[in-house]
């Protein structure tokens, strides 16, 4: 069980902290989707877990053991597949695996076995003798993942693992992530692709400005009082209509349409009745629940790809 | 369209600070350094070479010769009229003194005799690495002074002999004795203080360019390090628990081997290829191999240390590509690689002593020209090792920060 408790971090000469009291947890076999716009604090968080930054305030533990102790004694329990192609382009696939397997403390028959397993898992056997720089984007991502899996880590951090890959490779990588979680690994997955998070994450954490804005299961987040009504109304002045809609939640005009985020307990039928009572004629209405992207935008006021 | 593209090109150029430095600053520095270094090439510093006098003769002619030499070359650094050569041999051998002027005990008597004996009476014993032109010029000057003095002495003796008391000068004039040799060349000898090889272009160039080449690992190592750093491979190694010291050693050791190969190749070129091309051969006869290996190791450590420090300090490939070679070339220009130190004026020679390449070159020349042993190369190797230590400390301090 990965437990991050109230960590804060401020870079030297920075005006604002990159992380401010972040707490989250992820159990074995669980995929934690980490969402945040650029500059939200994701990289700082991942850098803590990968040992690149030491904790200034708060604590991080795995199975009750402090992260610093784990990093000192068994650093290979946590693996990072960074967004960059973190391997040697001039080496072949096999040579890269060999290099990082040795760096991770593997040797002898165990090293050979893990290299073979990871190559098979990432379906890279055919490319064993190919220089990494000559691989396609998708194959490079697979190699990045295969290297991360060499020491059989318990916690795996995947930072934007599907950037720049074709749909087949993306599907392969998402299946691989699910398979790793099913085998008991704790997965932390950051992505800008909302549909990926919706497809694989058991829990989602949305961070921005160094703070956790929401954390929960996907279902919890999507049902969290975020029903909305989108409607177009004729026959009522905008000021009067805004006042009517404001009784049911947060109303915003978008062109000639209105967007109302319903407060908890408010029903769309009552809203429509109130509009008609005020003399309005509903030309178009749509009721629904927020998807993750809408929730994200509502919370952060950013697009994910900002 | 063309103006827009030209504007783009100029903007790109103006914003490439390192490129601009390479275009403008480096040639300017080169003009300054090379002009100063070559300042005395057309007026060699023969007159200002430090020297010592070892006068074993108590006669007046010896003092006259020394006074004449002093008039032309300035005062000697030291004189050891009685103690013999022991005091100056080491200093001349290691190049601290340019030469020793030794006057044997029978110089005054021999110089004035009509029949010259075949014994050498004046010795010019020089630094083993002394440039051939300076060597020949000093010898010729010494022969000329001695000959002039001999001529005067013979003339004075002839006058005395031909002028008996009360005789008329015109009557007593005799025909000159044509069998008497006037030249004092037989009395003068000049030699370099070493049994080893004499300085040649190869003997100077192989060590110089070998040291230069060994320092060129700087650019290669720094660029590879940056590549690893930028792609995240180093961060990945760190996250796997690979200690910083191991990462640094994993870089240093291969380049140590590469420097070793460079040395073997360059020495082989000097020994075997140059004679085939009609040049002089590099002579390794009688050198102290342990001293040579120690100097090569020290040069390699200094080069790798500099490379690691630079790799840890720079942020981009552009910086590494511009800064590394620039430092190398400037160190070479100042350090006596491009222009031999002995042709530089005094202040440039003093400046050269701050260049690690000069320490390496002095160590190599000590082994290859002066036949120095381990003790003889201790000073340059200590400087190189000290430099390497400082550079590695800088590298370690910045390495982890850069990795993360």
Backbone angles phi, psi at B97, to 5 degrees: -110, 145
Q: Check pLDDT > 90 for residue B23.
A: no
pLDDT of residue A306: 46
Q: Which two tokens stand for residue B357?
A: 């390449």
What is the C-alpha separation between A184 and A55, in angstroms, rounded?
A: 26
What is the C-alpha separation between A230 and A13, in angstroms, rounded?
A: 45
Assessment of whether the complete model's pTM goes beyond 0.90? no
The alpha carbon of B391 is separated from its chain's Cα centroid by a whole number of angstroms, namely: 25
Domain B45-192 has CATH 1.20.120: no
pLDDT of residue A302: 59
Q: Which two tokens stand for residue A113?
A: 């076995």
> Hey, what's the torsion of the CAs at B251, B256, B258, B264, to 10 degrees?
180
Average of per-residue pLDDT across B325-339: 86
Average of per-residue pLDDT across A237-245: 92
Backbone angles phi, psi at B111, to 5 degrees: -60, -35
Interchain pair B237, A100: CB under 8 A = yes
Interchain pair A51, B403: CB under 8 A = no
Mapped onto helix, strand or coil, the DSSP state of residue A139 is helix
pLDDT of residue B169: 46
Q: Which two tokens stand for residue B216?
A: 């060129």
Among all residues of chain A, which has the CA nearest to that of B233? A86
Among all residues of chain B, which has the CA nearest to that of A101? B240
Which one of A46, A48, A86 makes the best mutation probe of the B interface by having the most chain B beta carbons within 10 Å? A86
* DSSP letters for B14-81: HT-HHHHIIIIIHHHHHHHHHHHHTTTTTS-GGGG--EEEEE---SHHHHHHHHHHHHHH---SEE-T
In whole angstroms, how far apart are CA B328 and each of A9, A120, B202, B240, B252?
41, 47, 21, 35, 18
In chain B, residues with a C-beta closer than 8 Å to the C-beta of A82 are 232, 235-236
A205 touches A214 (CB < 8 A): yes
B240 touches A78 (CB < 8 A): no
Whether the predicted interface score ipTM is above 0.95: no
Long-range contacts of B66-73 (CB under 8 A, 24+ apart): B66/B101, B66/B103, B68/B145, B68/B149, B69/B101, B69/B142, B69/B145, B72/B47, B72/B141, B73/B46, B73/B47, B73/B49
Which of A225-229, A276-280, B70-74, B236-240 is predicted least confidently? A225-229
As annotated, the residues of chain B forming the CATH 3.40.1710 domain(s) are: 45-192
B51 touches B98 (CB < 8 A): yes
Structure-token match 């028959």, residue found: A109
What is the C-alpha separation between B251 and A90, in angstroms, rounded?
A: 16
State the number of CA atoms in the 13 A half-sphere of A203 facing the CB.
17
pLDDT of residue A305: 45
Q: Give, in degrees to the nearest 5, the angle at Cα A62 between A61 and A67.
A: 50
Average of per-residue pLDDT across A265-292: 87
Interchain pair A78, B239: CB under 8 A = yes
> Hey, what's the torsion of the CAs at B173, B174, B180, B183, to 10 degrees?
30
Residue of higher predicted confidence among B97 and B299: B299
Gap from A88 CA to chain B (nearest CA, Å): 7
What is the C-alpha separation between B139 and A58, in angstroms, rounded?
A: 82
Average of per-residue pLDDT across A19-45: 89
What is the C-alpha separation between A73 and A62, in angstroms, rounded?
A: 13
pLDDT digits (tens, 9 = 90+) for B379-398: 999 999 999 999 999 988 88
Q: Is A205 exposed, middle or buried (0-12, 13-18, 19+ CB in 10 A)?
A: buried
Interchain pair B403, A52: CB under 8 A = yes
Gap from A253 CA to chain B (nearest CA, Å): 44
Q: How many helices and strands (H and E) does chain A possess?
A: 11, 14
> Hey, what's the torsion of the CAs at A204, A207, A211, A213, to 10 degrees?
-60
Across the interface, of A51, A88, A151, the residue whose CB is closest to B233 is A88
State the number of CA atoms in the 13 A half-sphere of B242 facing the CB.
22
Among all residues of chain B, which has the CA nearest to that of A46? B239
Q: Is B142 exposed, middle or buried (0-12, 13-18, 19+ CB in 10 A)?
A: buried
Query: Comparing C-alpha atoms, which of A33, A48, A49 is closest to residue A214?
Result: A33
Which of A2-16, A75-89, B47-61, B261-275 is predicted least confidently? B47-61
Among all residues of chain B, which has the CA nearest to that of A49? B239
Gap from B4 CA to chain A (nearest CA, Å): 31
Arithmetic mean of pLDDT over chain B = 81
Gap from B335 CA to chain A (nearest CA, Å): 36
Mapped onto helix, strand or coil, the DSSP state of residue A188 is strand
What domains are there in chain A, each with its CATH number? 2-221 (3.40.50.300), 227-289 (3.30.70.100)
Across the interface, of B236, B241, B404, the residue whose CB is closest to A86 is B236
What does chain A come to in residues? 306
Q: Which chain B residues have any C-beta within 8 angstroms of a chain A C-beta?
A: 227-228, 230-233, 235-242, 403-404
Alpha helices in chain A (DSSP H): 42-49, 67-73, 93-103, 108-121, 137-149, 167-182, 194-200, 218-222, 238-246, 268-277, 292-300
Looking at the complex, does the CB of residue A209 fall below 8 Å from at least one CB of chain B? no
What is the C-alpha separation between A268 and A230, in angstroms, rounded?
A: 10
What is the C-alpha separation between B287 and B1, in angstroms, rounded?
A: 67
Alpha helices in B216-345 (DSSP H): 217-231, 233-239, 244-268, 274-276, 289-313, 317-335
Q: Check pLDDT > 60 for residue B235.
A: yes
pLDDT digits (tens, 9 = 90+) for B49-76: 888 888 888 888 889 989 999 888 888 8
Mapped onto helix, strand or coil, the DSSP state of residue B90 is helix
Q: At what angle do helices B26-37 and B317-335 cross, to 10 degrees?
A: 10
Interchain pair B232, A103: CB under 8 A = no
pLDDT of residue B3: 76
Interchain pair B239, A50: CB under 8 A = yes
Query: In the structure, what pLDDT confidence band is assigned to residue B157 with cuts at 50, 70 and 90?
Result: confident
Phi-psi label, residue A301: left if phi above 0, alpha if psi -120 to 50, beta otherwise: left
Across the interface, of B233, B238, B403, the residue whose CB is closest to A87 is B233
Structure-token match 């085998």, residue found: A183
B213 touches B266 (CB < 8 A): yes
pLDDT of residue B98: 84
B64 touches B150 (CB < 8 A): no
What is the C-alpha separation between A72 and A75, in angstroms, rounded?
A: 6
């Amino acid at each position: 069980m990965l437990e991050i408790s109230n960590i804060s971090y401020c870079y030297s000469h920075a005006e604002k902290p990159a992380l401010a009291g972040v707490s989250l947890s992820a159990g074995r076999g669980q995929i934690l989707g980490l969402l945040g716009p650029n500059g939200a604090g994701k990289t700082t968080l991942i850098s803590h877990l990968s040992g690149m930054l030491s904790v200034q305030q708060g604590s991080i533990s795995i199975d009750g053991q402090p992260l610093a102790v784990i990093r000192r004694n068994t650093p290979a329990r946590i693996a990072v597949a960074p967004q960059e192609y973190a391997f040697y382009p001039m080496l072949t696939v096999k040579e890269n695996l060999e290099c990082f397997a040795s760096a991770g403390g593997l040797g002898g028959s165990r090293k050979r076995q893990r290299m073979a397993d990871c190559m098979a898992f990432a379906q890279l056997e055919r490319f064993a003798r190919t220089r990494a720089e000559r691989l396609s984007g998708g194959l490079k991502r697979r190699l990045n993942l295969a290297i991360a899996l060499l020491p059989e880590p318990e916690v795996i951090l995947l930072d934007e693992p599907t950037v720049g890959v074709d749909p087949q490779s993306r599907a392969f990588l998402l299946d691989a992530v699910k398979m790793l979680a099913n085998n008991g690994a704790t997965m932390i997955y950051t992505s800008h692709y909302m549909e990926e998070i919706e497809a694989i994450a058991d829990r989602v954490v949305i961070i921005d400005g160094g703070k956790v804005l929401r954390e929960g299961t996907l279902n919890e987040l999507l049902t969290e009082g975020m029903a909305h009504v989108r409607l177009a109304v004729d026959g009522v002045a905008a000021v009067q209509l805004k006042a009517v809609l404001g009784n049911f939640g947060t109303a915003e005009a978008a062109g000639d349409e209105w967007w109302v985020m319903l407060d908890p307990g408010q029903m769309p039928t009552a809203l429509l009745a109130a509009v008609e009572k005020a003399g309005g004629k509903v030309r178009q209405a749509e009721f629904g629940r927020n998807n993750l992207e809408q929730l994200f935008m509502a919370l952060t006021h950013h697009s994910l790809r900002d | 369209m063309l103006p827009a593209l030209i504007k783009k090109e100029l903007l790109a150029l103006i914003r490439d600070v390192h490129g601009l430095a390479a275009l403008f600053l480096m040639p300017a520095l080169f003009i300054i350094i090379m002009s100063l270094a070559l300042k005395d090439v057309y007026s060699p510093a023969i007159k200002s070479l430090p020297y010592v006098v070892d006068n074993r003769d108590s006669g007046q002619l010896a003092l006259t010769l020394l006074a004449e030499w002093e008039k032309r070359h300035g005062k000697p650094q030291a004189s050891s009229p009685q103690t013999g050569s022991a005091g100056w041999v080491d200093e001349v051998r290691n190049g601290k003194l340019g030469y020793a002027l030794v006057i044997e005990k029978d110089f005054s008597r021999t110089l004035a005799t009509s029949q010259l004996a075949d014994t050498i009476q004046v010795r010019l014993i020089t630094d083993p690495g002394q440039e051939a032109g300076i060597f020949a010029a000093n010898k010729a000057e010494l022969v000329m002074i001695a000959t002039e003095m001999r001529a005067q002495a013979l003339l004075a003796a002839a006058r005395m002999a031909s002028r008996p008391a009360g005789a008329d000068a015109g009557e007593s004039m005799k025909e000159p004795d044509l069998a008497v040799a006037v030249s004092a060349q037989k009395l003068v000898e000049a030699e370099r203080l070493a049994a080893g090889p004499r300085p040649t272009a190869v003997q100077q160039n192989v060590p110089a360019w070998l040291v230069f080449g060994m320092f060129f690992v700087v650019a290669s190592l720094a660029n590879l390090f940056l590549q690893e750093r930028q792609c995240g491979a180093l961060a990945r190694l760190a996250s796997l628990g690979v200690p910083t010291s191991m990462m640094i050693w994993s870089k240093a050791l291969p380049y140590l081997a590469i420097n070793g190969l460079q040395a073997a190749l360059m020495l082989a070129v000097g020994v075997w290829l140059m004679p085939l091309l009609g040049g002089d051969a590099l002579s390794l006869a009688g050198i102290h191999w342990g001293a040579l290996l120690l100097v090569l190791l020290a040069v390699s450590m200094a080069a790798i240390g500099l490379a690691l420090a630079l790799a840890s300090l720079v942020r981009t490939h552009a910086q590494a590509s511009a800064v590394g070679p620039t430092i190398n070339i400037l160190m070479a220009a100042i350090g006596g690689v491009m222009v031999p130190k002995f042709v530089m004026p005094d202040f440039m020679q003093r400046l050269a002593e701050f260049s690690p390449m000069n320490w390496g070159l002095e160590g190599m020349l000590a082994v290859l020209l002066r036949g120095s042993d381990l003790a003889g190369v201790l000073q340059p190797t200590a400087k190189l090792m000290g430099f390497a230590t400082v550079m590695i400390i800088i590298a370690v301090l910045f390495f982890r920060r850069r990795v993360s």
